[in-house]
Chains A and B, each alone.
Chain A
Amino acid sequence: MSRYDVFNSDVIIVGAGLAGERAAIEAASQGLNVIILSLVPPRRSHSSAAQGGMQASLANSAMGKGDNPDVHFADTVKGSDWGCDQDVARLFAETAPIAVRQMAFWGVPWNRVVAGKRMYDGKEIEEDPEKEGLIAARNFGGTAKWRTCYTADGTGHTLLYTMDSVVIKLGITVHDRTEVLSLIHDGVRCSGVVARCLRTGKLRVYTAKSTVMATGGYGRLYGASTNAIINEGSGMFVALETGIVPLGNMEAVQFHPTGIVPTWILITEGARGDGGYLLDKDLHRFMPDYEPNKKELASRDVVSRRIMQHIRKGYGVESPYGAHVWLDIRHLGEKHINTNLREIANICRNFAGIDPIRDLIPVRPTQHYSMGGIRTNIDGMAYGLEGLFALGEAACWDMHGFNRLGGNSLAETIVAGMIVGDKIAKYTKETSLHISSALIEEQVKFQEDRIQALIHCRNGKENVYQLRREMEQILSEHVGIFRSEQPLKKAVAQLHELHQRSFRVGLRSGGQGGDPELASALRITGMIRLAYCIAAGALARQESRGSHFREDYPKRDDENWLKRTLAYWPVGSDQPELKYEPVKITELPPGDRGYGEASTQAAKAAP
């Protein structure tokens, strides 16, 4: 029996969520041979968990009247706290309406405009009969217009199922339960991946002209995250470990304002978008005190900080899992909750034993999204290696800068899938595969040695689960919503030590076949490296921008820090190396966001 199986294709795509599948469709439609690798069956990907919606400036709903890509662009740039590349944000905003309509064409049952009047937050809204039956939009944070297209609160589910139906129709090959361990590259060009079959444990080699990372975020580095358990940042650390591909803005970590206590499952922003309130222990609606204009619907970084600020002042509700606030959607009524917010009603009932029609929902800001990721150019090609692409949450494309708006992540996956997918196809058609068998041998041998060392506890007997808990603890405690120098220094020192200890992991399971402990052990060093990049980037950045808030540097500092962090991990190094590059400002010079701590419009005298 051979030691490993070999597969060849034009394009290898790692990750079968929305971004990966959309890029696969683009490449396959242009006649290329595509294989998608996925940890799980495609429809189980974390894209399916996105509840709220997808931003696109269709301007069909009454409250979206006058919307267009210019407004969407401006919202996105403000949301990013001017940390994004504006050429990318522009391209994105222009393409999003086409993406939404194409998904409708392929079968997504978008909610549609219904003519007539209804009440919203004390105001009457009248939908235009002319627009009846066109794709509707709901309100989301940080947007000037109602722009978030949705299917009840199962938007990610319907998008992913529709996208996957096209993948099946086109006959694109998917290898699920497959985990990528490393990239095959010669320092100039990427020629594929080494992977491990999670069914049998056998190693595999996939060679391709183009290799695409669409592996999503790293939420699970944090103990309390809304993310699925597969979101461990594998694509990011595999790219980082080449030593020549940098990760952009890893310190930009989004905390969603409303994770349910204590399971940290997401309660969609749609709950506030549809008119939900945040209440404190006295049942006082506190957001208007801090953000008189946007109230509960300022951008996520701002709402999360306001909640924590209010809790710190002693207005939180005490619980065994720490202080929290309440989300109140009772006034939206049974019919609305049971149709448009049904998934979250189910989550409340199943996981918290409460009924949001009658009860308040306990919520607290929870790790949710990674703005940072594999740094790419506007075409989606990674810095440092030819033939390597990245898109979606795994990438730092970079349209989110230091804070992503709700509804812009689903939109990014599909828009990037269209645009980057096309670039991948063009690149692939013009290139040919040159790969030395010695290089493949060397890469496979390296992974085989790692696996044998783990199985036989050759380097030690550190427990992978213990290390993992420590890493989660360090990030949650020291690299959270409020950051400052001393805790960040502590985090860096602790992660440095943890990184060394990760080389001494040994298995207790024996590591045979598709052993789950071996899979965890193969990831742990890479995950700690990502955590290290986050902490080191946060320590170095002496300003506050978007989600990155330094209590010791509470102001945005455009003079010194209007730039993107690039974290490298040189091969053999015991720590990351930070470099910086300017952000691209093409249209909108840095200014006031109109909400948040720096805004003159935000209340000066919040309690």
Chain B
Amino acid sequence: MSPRQLTFHIFRYNPETPKNEPATQTYDLQEEPGMTLFIALNKIREEQDPTLKFDFVCRAGICGSCGMLINGRPTLACKTLTKDLPKDVTLMPLPVFKLLGDLSVDTGTWFRVVSLRTEAWIHTDKTFRPDAQEDRMDNETALKIYEVERCIECGCCIGGCATANIKPDFIGAAGVNRVARFMIDPRDERDEQEYFDVVGSEDGIFGCVGLMACDDNCPIGIPLQGQLAYVRRKMALAGWKR
């Protein structure tokens, strides 16, 4: 079988030059065996258009840099094989996040702000003692924390979230999941009222309207529906006790 000729329709806009209006640019590329969008986009940049902007770092589905809308669905470009796509491929930047240019968006700043707002670090009154043995933890608990901690902050759940698209301060599934990670961690000494203060609002867990696109779109398969339900239940109880 002769290789397919792929046609990429890619969103182009540079906020630094607002006079040039957003547009879709088309590039033709011959498909190769095992081709991912990482390979395809770099080929386009190196051989056809050196101005094209996009973000990759690990190219292995680990770092979360390359979230974009691929034929309308938010997912990681690096682990998307062209053989799983039709011959016409439309690439758009993730919505919600600040556009830096073409397919590049500022997920880094967005997630940093959410980390600060949710105080996403271990809260404890203890001090570290270098000479002491570590506190014990049940291995099952450790695995449970890791399951949630696996979020790579790619922003696919945010880009595909109806609420996040209309409410600029909504922390989304990734933000709620991050809070859940600390809630189940026995090292974090916050009580439920303290968690309520950071996540018990319309911009937190109560902003979620339950469409669950986040759960469908998570490229690494974190059970976001369960996490949202867990935090919602805990916070509903905490709110009721106020």
Contacts and interface: CB of A to CB of B under 8 A. Distances in A.
Interface of A: 40-46, 48-49, 98, 100-102, 104-107, 109-114, 132-136, 151-152, 154, 157-158, 161, 165-166, 168-169, 174, 176-177, 199-200, 228-230, 262-263, 265-266, 320, 339, 343, 346-347, 350-351, 353, 465, 507-510, 512-517
Contacts of B137: 109-110, 112, 133
A46 B65 CA distance: 11
A23 to B, nearest CB: 17
A101 B63 contact: no
B222 to A, nearest CB: 12
Nearest to A350: B79
Contact of B121 (A44, A100, A107): A107
A350 B128 CA distance: 41
Interface stretch (B45-53, B156-164, B234-242): B45-53
B113 to A, nearest CB: 10
Given A41-B107, A512-B17, A109 B34 contact: no
Contact of B36 (A49, A169, A351): A351
30 contacts: A40-B57, A40-B63, A43-B64, A43-B108, A43-B153, A48-B63, A102-B128, A105-B187, A107-B122, A111-B139, A111-B143, A112-B138, A132-B136, A133-B138, A151-B142, A152-B143, A158-B149, A161-B149, A168-B112, A199-B100, A229-B56, A229-B58, A263-B34, A265-B59, A351-B61, A509-B50, A513-B17, A514-B100, A517-B50, A517-B51
A339 B140 CA distance: 12
B50 to A, nearest CB: 4
B146 A151 contact: yes
B125 to A, nearest CB: 12
A174 B108 CA distance: 11
A165 B100 contact: no
Contacts of B130: 98, 101-102
Contacts of A113: 139
- What 8 A-B pairs have minimum CB-CB distances, sorted nearest first? A41-B108, A133-B136, A517-B50, A509-B50, A109-B145, A165-B121, A112-B139, A465-B46
B25 interface: no
Contacts of B33: 320
Judged by DSSP, the binding face of B is: loop
B191 interface: no
A509 B51 contact: yes
Interface string B136-178: 1111011101100110110000000000000000000000000
A154 B146 CA distance: 9
B21 interface: no
B133 A510 contact: no
Contacts of A46: 57-58, 63
A202 to B, nearest CB: 10
B97 to A, nearest CB: 11
Contacts of A320: 33
Nearest to A262: B34
